[in-house]
């Protein structure tokens, strides 16, 4: 995970967005209102995902692909547990999010940001605007977390994202976090099996 906020020179609308985020960040997380009973919960973009929304301070509302073309999937590893990752995304002080989180033990998928919105996951604004970020539960130096079911469910998710957005299913368009220019992150790390993953994406 990596912070990636909008650039500061975005004009009046951008300043309003940043001020809104700053105001929310100043509010203790425990004081933020819970969703109203009976409130409409949007269906996730991926049919088998569970909607686990990130805090609105941790992503940028957008109308992709109308205002930004989506042509990349960025693969991440959380460096923490599944529940901890969701908690980070809900914390308005963290300024970080991803569109999806995949659990190691059973491949369960949570969606935290709509695909039409810009998650703050890549550490580079340009890459954030044009990508879908997928976090995978685990640590880069613990390959046991990269289970068969995690690979399979993540590959099915990536294949569906590629189909929805017309993204080619290849290594130029499905990249690791470490491949984002300027990042100091190494995920998904040396134990991530890219050949296997791309074969599963192609077969899904």
| Token pair 């969701």: residue | 86
What value does the mean pLDDT of the chain take? 87
- Sheet of 100-102: strands edge to edge? 50-51, 109-111, 100-102, 131-136, 72-77, 174-176
Q: Look up the pTM and report it.
A: 0.82
Q: Any idea which residues carry the catalytic annotation?
A: 135
Section 165-188 average pLDDT: 97
Higher model confidence: residue 12 or residue 175?
A: 175
Q: What are phi and psi of 111, to 5 degrees?
A: -105, 130
88 neighbors 1 (Cβ within 8 angstroms) = yes
Q: What percent of the chain has pLDDT over 70?
A: 80
pLDDT band, residue 189 (cuts 50/70/90):
very high
State the pLDDT at residue 42: 73
Higher model confidence: residue 72 or residue 14?
A: 72
pLDDT band, residue 43 (cuts 50/70/90):
confident
CA dist., res. 189 & res. 78, Å (int): 11
CA dist., res. 17 & res. 144, Å (int): 41
The tokens describing 94, both together, are 């963290």
CA dist., res. 150 & res. 103, Å (int): 7
pLDDT above 60 (res 30): no
pLDDT above 70 (res 99): yes
Torsion region of 171: left, alpha or beta (phi above 0 gives left; psi -120 to 50 gives alpha): alpha
pLDDT above 60 (res 84): yes
State the pLDDT at residue 31: 39
CA nearest to 5, candidates 201, 20, 145: 20
Strands (E), 103-186: 109-111, 118-119, 131-136, 174-176
């Amino acid at each position: 995970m990596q912070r990636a906020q909008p650039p500061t020179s975005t004009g009046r609308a951008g300043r309003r967005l940043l001020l809104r985020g700053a105001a929310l960040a100043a509010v203790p997380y425990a004081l933020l209102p819970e969703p109203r009973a009976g409130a409409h919960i949007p269906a996730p973009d991926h049919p088998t995902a569970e909607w686990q929304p990130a805090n609105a301070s941790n992503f940028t509302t957008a109308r992709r692909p109308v205002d930004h073309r989506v042509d990349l999937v960025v693969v991440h590893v959380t460096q923490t547990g599944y529940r901890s990752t969701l908690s980070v995304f809900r914390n308005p002080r963290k300024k970080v999010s991803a569109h999806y989180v995949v659990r190691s033990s059973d491949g369960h998928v949570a969606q935290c940001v709509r695909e039409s919105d810009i998650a703050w996951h890549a550490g580079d604004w340009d890459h954030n605007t044009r990508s879908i970020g997928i976090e995978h539960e685990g640590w880069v130096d613990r390959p046991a977390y990269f289970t068969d079911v995690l690979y399979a469910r993540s590959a099915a998710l990536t294949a569906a994202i590629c189909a929805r957005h017309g993204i080619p299913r290849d290594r130029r368009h499905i990249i690791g976090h470490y491949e984002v220019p300027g990042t100091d992150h190494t995920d998904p790390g040396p134990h991530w099996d890219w050949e296997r993953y791309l074969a599963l994406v192609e077969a899904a």
